[in-house]
């Protein structure tokens, strides 16, 4: 969340004064309007706003692809644990792929890790860095795999001029507090595929979906309840109006930092440097000690990649201990269909991912830095680089 204020207060107040907080039956139609505006922004046909966050969006998307026990899903070893947990929630097994120097899933490792059990790839547009979507979609096509995009850290970002989340079969977004636009919590999925949309939507309303006029093309199944409310819809509509200017300012600051400091710092490459959303700049050091020394000089806005906790597969406790459900009988690691699948999460699975994160320092960007603040940051980064 970068910019929130009077617009969101007024929008939320309007809903409260209307006393129509449920998304159906009122006059305001905030959720429905957000969904239309978001789908239009992305250039897709369908989207659904949900209270459950990016995690719920991912789980709904995986369920929509009818992925379950006996299936493997390829995910990167560097992503929020939610990417992995949503696969397990559906009863399938996440298989970890390396990231490359751009912090995104390595297409070469995807190719190496595909087996007859693979059903989908989840590329994650980490920290505003777009994945190599054209190559990934091509690989998926050759092998008949679904592509579910995790755009939670890149709401509204693009790759080759096309919004992330619209390259694959279905895109998942998070609007939690830490994301580019936010209503505190919440999320969304978006797709052009009507049946996938229906199945994902079905997953979001406990087998009822009583308020919608969708005529389901399949028997409705029991699932979760992630219905969004009108306050969230109203806030997100205001956030959406701010999205492009937030991204433009993030990109401007990122570009300034890179242009000013390339003589003394080595910034990591991007699959599309001008489209990198720029929530951070990431700097490569020769080793971990040099990176740490740099971060210490910078303070709170700098952090080593390897310190990103539950963003790194070796820290995903439920996967490490193979306890992925509340009762053993529902733990996918125990399912007979999943025996023989590659449920391996040791450091040896993706050594390159860990090596890169040990050498990479992240510096968080604020799109609202004034000229003077930006100058100070540049001076501080330059001094620390020595
Ligand atoms: C934040 C995040 C999620 C989960 O989003 P929530 O809204 O917290 O459920 C999933 N994947 C990535 C990469 C994220 O950063």
Q: If 0-12 CB within 10 Å is exposed, 13-18 middle and 19+ buried, where does residue 174 land?
A: buried
Strands (E), 192-312: 266-267, 280-284, 302-304
The residues, ordered by sequence, that sit 6+ positions from 203 with a Cβ below 8 Å of its Cβ are: 59, 60, 63, 64, 221, 223, 224
Phi, psi of 119 (to 5 degrees): -115, -25
Ligand 1 centre to CA of 174 (Å) is 6
Q: What is the best residue among 82, 123, 308 to mutate for testing ligand 1's pocket, by most ligand atoms within 8 Å of CB? A: 82
- Nearest C-alpha to atom 2 of ligand 1 is from which residue? 152
- Nearest C-alpha to atom 7 of ligand 1 is from which residue? 53
**Closest C-alpha to 87, from 74, 77, 97, 99:** 74
3-state SS class at 148:
strand
Q: Take residue 137 and report the two structure tokens written for it.
A: 């979609």
Strands (E), the chain: 46-50, 72-76, 93-97, 118-121, 146-150, 158-159, 162-163, 170-174, 187-191, 266-267, 280-284, 302-304, 360-364
Dihedral sign of CA atoms 21, 24, 30, 35 in order: positive
N- to C-terminal Cα distance for the chain?
33
At residue 301, the pLDDT reads 93
CA distance readout (Å), 310 to 105, 271, 281, 307 = 17, 24, 20, 9
- Residues 244-253 pLDDT 10s: 999 999 999 9
Angstrom distance (rounded) from CA 230 to CA 239? 14
Angstrom distance (rounded) from CA 108 to CA 350? 13
Strands (E), 9-161: 46-50, 72-76, 93-97, 118-121, 146-150, 158-159
CA distance readout (Å), 349 to 77, 89, 119, 343, 386 = 9, 22, 20, 10, 35
At residue 229, the pLDDT reads 97
At residue 213, the pLDDT reads 80
- Residues 277-301 pLDDT 10s: 999 999 999 999 999 999 999 999 9
What DSSP element (H or E) covers 66?
none
Angstrom distance (rounded) from CA 324 to CA 330? 8
Angstrom distance (rounded) from CA 255 to CA 276? 10
At residue 285, the pLDDT reads 97
Ligand 1 centre to CA of 186 (Å) is 10
Tell me the sheet residues that pair with 99.
105
- Nearest C-alpha to atom 1 of ligand 1 is from which residue? 152
Is the CB–ligand 1 distance for residue 155 below 6 Å? no
At residue 173, the pLDDT reads 98
Residues 69 and 91 sit within 8 Å (Cβ to Cβ) = yes
Q: Which residues of the chain have pLDDT under 70?
A: none
- Residues 16-25 pLDDT 10s: 999 999 999 8
DSSP state of 156: T
At residue 30, the pLDDT reads 97
Is the CB–ligand 1 distance for residue 186 below 6 Å? no
- Angle of helix 54-64 relative to helix 82-89, nearest 10 degrees, comes to 40
At residue 215, the pLDDT reads 85
At residue 89, the pLDDT reads 97
The per-residue DSSP string of 309-323 comes to GGGBGGG-HHHHTT-
């Amino acid at each position: 969340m970068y910019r929130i204020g009077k617009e969101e207060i007024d929008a939320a107040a309007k809903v409260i004064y209307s006393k129509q907080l449920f998304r159906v039956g009122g006059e305001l139609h905030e959720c429905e309007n957000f969904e239309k505006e978001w789908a239009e922004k992305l250039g897709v046909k369908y989207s659904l706003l949900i209270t459950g966050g990016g995690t719920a969006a991912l789980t709904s998307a995986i369920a929509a692809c009818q992925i379950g026990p006996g299936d493997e899903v390829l995910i990167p070893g560097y992503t929020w644990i939610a990417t992995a947990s949503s696969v397990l929630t559906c009863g399938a097994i996440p298989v970890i792929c390396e990231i490359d120097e751009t912090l995104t899933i390595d297409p070469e490792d995807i190719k190496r890790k595909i087996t007859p059990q693979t059903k989908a790839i989840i590329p994650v547009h980490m920290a505003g860095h777009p994945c190599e979507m054209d190559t990934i979609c091509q690989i998926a096509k050759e092998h008949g795999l679904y592509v579910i995009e995790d755009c939670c850290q890149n709401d509204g970002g693009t790759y080759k001029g096309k919004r992330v989340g619209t390259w694959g079969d279905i895109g998942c977004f998070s609007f939690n507090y830490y994301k580019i636009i936010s209503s505190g919590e919440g999320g969304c999925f978006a797709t052009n595929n009507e049946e996938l949309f229906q199945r994902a939507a079905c997953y979001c309303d406990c087998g009822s979906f009583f308020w919608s006029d969708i005529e389901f093309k399949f028997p409705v199944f029991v699932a979760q309840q992630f219905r969004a409310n009108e306050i969230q819809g109203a806030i997100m509509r205001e956030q959406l109006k701010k999205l492009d200017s937030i991204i433009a300012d993030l990109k401007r600051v990122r570009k300034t930092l890179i242009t000013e400091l390339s003589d003394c710092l080595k910034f990591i490459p991007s699959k599309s440097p001008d489209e990198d959303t720029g929530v951070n700049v990431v700097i490569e050091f020769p080793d971990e000690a040099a990176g740490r020394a740099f971060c210490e000089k910078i303070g709170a806005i700098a952090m080593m990649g390897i310190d990103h906790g539950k963003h790194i597969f070796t820290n995903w406790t439920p996967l490490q201990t193979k306890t992925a459900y509340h009762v053993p009988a529902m733990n996918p690691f125990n399912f007979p269909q999943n025996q023989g699948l590659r449920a391996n999460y040791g450091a040896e699975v993706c050594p390159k991912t860990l090596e890169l994160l040990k050498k990479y320092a992240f510096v968080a960007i604020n799109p609202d830095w004034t000229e003077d603040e930006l100058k100070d940051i540049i001076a501080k980064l330059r001094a620390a680089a020595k």
